[in-house]
């Protein structure tokens, strides 16, 4: 009888250890939770939204324009921003319109905010050279911006983001439950 109890305890201990190890591997290598801190991605993301970071996404693929990424920022904090410029891109804003390599791009995720702004453009005009000192996004780097353009600390202030600082892509809000959705 005592031997049965010992075996059962050992089986439960093994199961628990395997579960903890599996959870650690998943969190460290595949997916991790993150909390949106601040208003820099409004209206797309709200302060205190909880999201899943897909750490595998850029181990098997490359970032694409308009992806929402999580990266280690210079002040030892993780930021959530949108990819605007890829390596080699020339980025410019004029008349509240994004130009990449001279071609105008629509940003549908900003339409809501653009309608509300009455005292000038949502995104002040700039060229990449004015912001980071080079005409194009450097190789191995991304130019990122928050959707709340007037109140976002992004590549216009901290410079481009090296690929090795990118944790992964995020596009699933899981909390609050009423806001559960995926984001394009």
Domain extent, residue 89, equals 32-182
> Which residue, among 162, 155, 157, 154, has the nearest Cα to 138 in the 3D structure?
162
Tell me which of 5, 6, 14, 40 is the catalytic residue.
40
The domain that holds 71 is classified in CATH as 2.10.109.10
Which residues, in sequence order, are bridge partners of residue 97? 94
Is 128 part of any domain? yes
Tell me which of 55, 59, 77, 81 is the catalytic residue.
81
Q: Is the pTM of this model over 0.85?
A: no
Is 114 part of any domain? yes
Average pLDDT over residues 161-183: 85
Is 60 part of any domain? yes
Q: What is the pLDDT of residue 1?
A: 62
- Is 155 catalytic? The answer is no
Is 14 part of any domain? no
pLDDT tens digits along 130-169: 988 899 999 999 999 999 888 889 999 999 999 999 988 8
Is 66 part of any domain? yes
Number of domains in the chain: 1
- Is 115 catalytic? The answer is no
Is 176 part of any domain? yes
Is 16 part of any domain? no
Residue 57 vs residues 36, 51, 70, 89, 170: alpha-carbon distances, Å: 19, 15, 12, 22, 9
Is 161 part of any domain? yes
pLDDT tens digits along 93-110: 999 999 999 999 999 888
For 4, the 3-state DSSP assignment is: helix
């Amino acid at each position: 009888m005592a031997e049965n109890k010992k075996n059962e305890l050992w089986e439960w201990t093994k199961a628990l250890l395997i579960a903890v190890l599996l959870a650690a591997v998943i969190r460290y290598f595949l997916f991790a939770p993150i909390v949106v801190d601040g208003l820099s991605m409004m209206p797309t993301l709200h302060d205190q939204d909880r999201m899943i970071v897909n750490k595998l996404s850029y181990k098997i693929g490359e970032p694409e324009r308009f992806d929402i990424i999580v990266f280690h920022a210079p002040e030892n904090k993780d930021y959530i921003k949108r990819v605007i410029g890829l390596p080699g891109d020339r980025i410019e804003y004029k008349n509240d319109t994004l130009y990449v390599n001279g071609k105008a791009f629509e940003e549908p995720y900003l339409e809501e905010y653009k309608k509300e702004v009455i005292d000038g453009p949502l995104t002040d005009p700039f060229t990449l050279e004015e912001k980071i000192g080079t005409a194009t996004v450097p190789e191995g780097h991304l130019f990122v911006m928050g959707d709340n353009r007037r109140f976002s600390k992004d590549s216009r202030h901290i410079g481009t983001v090296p690929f090795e600082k990118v944790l992964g892509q995020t596009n699933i809000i899981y909390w609050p439950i009423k806001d559960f959705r995926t984001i394009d």
